[in-house]
């Protein structure tokens, strides 16, 4: 599902992952997000929901390109996402391209 900057795709991914768990499927669900999209509150509500429901078959990837439609993310609303994900109960792997 492509929801763009609205931040809805993590909620949809949570629903898909939870359904797979409930159906006994041993599969993963992947979601991809831009760093500008993480300014949406719905992303964090979904992140908290996933942690609360112990949804462990969901992998959310964030493309930290530091750009969004309105300009540089740091000029629109600066944030530190790794700490936020961890505070909501997610395991975070920071992968940098060298």
State the residue range of the domain holding 46. Answer: 1-25+37-59+79-90
The Cα–Cα gap between 63 and 33 comes to: 6
Query: Given a cut of 80, is residue 31 above it in pLDDT?
Result: yes
Position 58 scores a pLDDT of 98
Residue 29's alpha-carbon distances to 8, 25, 49, in angstroms, are: 15, 11, 15
Give pLDDT, residue 78.
67
pLDDT digits (tens, 9 = 90+) for 33-90: 888 788 878 999 999 999 999 999 999 998 777 777 777 777 777 666 778 889 989 9
**3-state SS, residue 29:** strand
Our count of domains for the chain comes to 1
Q: Residue 58: helix, strand or coil by DSSP?
A: strand
Q: DSSP state, 37?
A: G
* 71 domain-assigned: no
Predicted model pTM: 0.84
Check residue 89 and give left, alpha or beta (phi > 0: left; psi -120 to 50: alpha).
left
């Amino acid at each position: 599902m492509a929801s763009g900057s609205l931040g809805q795709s993590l909620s949809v991914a949570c629903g898909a992952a939870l359904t797979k768990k409930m159906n006994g499927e041993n599969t993963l669900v992947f979601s991809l997000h831009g760093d500008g999209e993480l300014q949406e509150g719905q992303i964090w509500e979904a992140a908290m929901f996933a942690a609360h429901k112990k949804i462990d078959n969901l992998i959310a990837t964030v493309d930290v390109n530091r750009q969004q439609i309105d300009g540089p993310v740091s000029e629109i609303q600066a944030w530190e996402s790794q700490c936020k994900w961890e505070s909501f109960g997610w395991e975070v792997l920071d992968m940098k391209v060298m």
